[in-house]
Amino acid sequence: MDKINRRTFLASAAAATLISSTPVHAQEPAPATPDAALKMLMDGNQRFAQNNLTSIAHDLKLLREHNIDKQEPFAALLSCADSRVPVELVFDQTIGHIFVARVAGNIINAEIIGSLEYGAAVLGVKVLIVMGHSNCGAVKAAIAKTQVPGQIASLYPHLEQAVETGSGLEDTIKKNAKIQASLLETTSTVLAPMVKEGKLKIHAAYFDVGTGLVTLL
């Protein structure tokens, strides 16, 4: 074995030893407050944007076993269905951490509201994020009033308020996230009382697909 290959082998062996000796927990303690939950999400997004993910080090077998009979997410996310928005990765979280609802344009309807109410009232999430993202195709189509097949145009009425008040694509996407978050906070008979009692925080956010950063709105 030459010197270069020997060095490579020894470095690899040392790294493998370090990884195998690092304790990996099935489930970290959930944050106890809405502010702590929000901080955990935003800290995770900073790691994602810096290519410094830690969630990949979790023992997925242990995580799956821990979550077979129950789930204990600390946050809920309403995001667009866009394939460029992998929610768990964006916040550097893993199995059982985030309760995710996804629909094109991150809009709310009865089914979405019911799902998020379940996440808050039954599962006990502490923070709920409504997240739009850069270059959203649903918002872009709604602005242009693009002729589309099937039921795709059914999204447009939900985006209309943002389209009417927004100035440009990015501003309209951000306005839509804030509108949907406000509707959840003010109209849900389950979520509104939880917000007033300090048990839950609802925030709008914007994810920049290019930089990987999430900005609270």
> Which position has the token pair 């059914």?
154
Nearest to 123 by CA among 43, 199, 38: 199
Q: Do the bridges between strand 98-102 and strand 75-79 make them parallel or antiparallel, or are there none, so unpaired?
A: parallel
**Is residue 173 within 8 Å of residue 180, measured between CB atoms?**
no
Residue 15 lies inside a defined structural domain of this protein: no
d(CA 173, CA 43): 23
Q: How big is the chain by its Cα radius of gyration, in Å? A: 20
Count of the separate structural domains present in the chain: 1
Domain span at residue 189?
Answer: 32-216
Residue 68 lies inside a defined structural domain of this protein: yes
Residue 84 lies inside a defined structural domain of this protein: yes
Residue 27 lies inside a defined structural domain of this protein: no
Domain CATH code at residue 154? 3.40.1050.10
Which residues make Cβ contacts (< 8 Å) with residue 26, sequence separation at least 6?
Answer: 59, 62, 63, 65, 66
d(CA 78, CA 196): 20
Give the pLDDT of the chain (217 residues) as one tens digit per residue.
444 444 443 343 333 333 333 333 345 678 889 999 999 999 999 999 999 998 887 777 777 777 778 889 999 999 999 999 999 999 999 889 999 999 999 999 999 999 999 999 999 999 999 999 999 999 999 999 999 999 999 999 999 999 999 999 999 999 999 999 999 999 999 999 999 999 999 999 999 999 999 999 9
Residue 130, H or E segment: strand 127-133
